[in-house]
Amino acid sequence: MRLETPLHDLGWAAKPFSLKDPDGQTFSYESEAGENGLLIAFICNHCPYVKAIADRLANDARTLQEAGIGVLAVMSNDYQQYEADRPELMKVFAEQHRFPFPYVVDEDQSVGKAYGAVCTPDFFGFNRDGKLSYRGRLDDAAMGDASNRTPELVNAMLLVAKTGNGPEEQYPSIGCSIKWR
């Protein structure tokens, strides 16, 4: 089911969590936040919207990391029902797209629920104080055509790094619904 992220109250504080990647290494909000904030991307392996942006997300993440913004991807889907999202396939997906950030499993779906994630991809950009400053899309590219895109997430997060606030106008991300148990 195709969904858009809802308009979201900005300024709420990031909720602490601790999640593992497919290799069992633990990551948390605190361990991944950069000096200028953290981007949390709720994604999965099988969603066509995520597949369409995965390489751009990896490249944009490198730009953010160079600016002192941490990046972390969370997979909250029920991988028992959607086997393409199994942890061992998450590792393959991350390697295939050369993710420069951890890709972790939200085993009990508590992090996705706590953050109010609704679809994949769903982006939450936090400033250096851990306050939500961006909830929007990666870019303005149409499905499959990124030849002339505006990198909205990068631009927003660089603004967040500089000022602590995201842009006033933010466009919702569009994607597949998170597959809840």
Give the 3-state secondary structure of 72-111: EEEECCCCCCCHHHCHHHHHHHHHHCCCCCCEEECCCCHH
pLDDT, residue 147, reads 80
pLDDT, residue 44, reads 98
Average pLDDT over residues 153-168: 97
CA dist., res. 47 & res. 3, Å (int):
12
Going by C-alpha positions, the residue among 137, 149, 119 that lies closest to residue 3 is 119
What is the strand order of the sheet 174-177 is part of? Answer: 2-4, 174-177, 119-120
**Number of domain units in the chain:** 1
CATH code of 106's domain: 3.40.30.10
Whether the predicted pLDDT of 114 surpasses 80: yes
pLDDT, residue 4, reads 62
Angle between helices 152-163 and 48-66 (to 10 degrees): 30
Average pLDDT over residues 129-158: 92
Average pLDDT over residues 118-131: 97
User: Sorting pLDDT into bands at 50, 70 and 90, what band is 27?
Assistant: very high
* Virtual torsion, Cα 14, 161, 30, 70, nearest 10 deg: 110
pLDDT, residue 6, reads 66
pLDDT, residue 3, reads 57
Residue 47 near residue 120 (C-beta atoms within 8 A): yes
| Greatest extent of the chain over all pairs of C-alpha atoms, in Å | 42
pTM for this prediction: 0.95
pLDDT one-digit tens code per residue, 51-107: 999 999 999 999 999 999 999 999 999 999 999 999 999 999 999 999 999 999 999
Whether the predicted pLDDT of 176 surpasses 80: yes
Pairing of strands 26-28, 18-20: antiparallel
> 35 — phi, psi (to 5°)?
-65, -20
Query: Which residues form the domain of 53?
Result: 2-177
CA dist., res. 153 & res. 156, Å (int):
5
CA dist., res. 61 & res. 94, Å (int):
13
Helix (H, G, I), strand (E, B), or coil: what is residue 4? strand
